[in-house]
Amino acid sequence: MKKLLLLPAILASLVAAITQSPTAAMAGGIGNNYIGPAVTFGGGQSVFGIDSKLGIADNISLRPYVNFPSGGTQFGTSLTYDWDLRQSPTPITPFIGVGVGFQTGNSNTTTNGFAQVGADLNVSESFALLGSVAIPFSSNNANTSVTIGANLRF
The pLDDT tens digits of the residues spanning 77-109 come to 999 999 977 666 778 899 999 999 998 887 678
Pairing of β 73-82 and β 65-67 = antiparallel
Q: Which of 23-37, 63-77, 137-151 has the highest mean pLDDT?
A: 63-77
Higher pLDDT, 26 or 116: 116
Mean pLDDT of 114-119: 96
Please give the pLDDT value at position 26: 54
Whole-structure pTM value: 0.77
Mean pLDDT of 107-112: 80
Given a cut of 50, whether residue 74 has pLDDT beyond it is: yes
Give 88's Cβ-side CA count (13 Å radius).
10
Q: List Cβ neighbours of 115 (8 Å cut-off, separation of 6 or more).
A: 96, 97, 98, 134, 135, 137
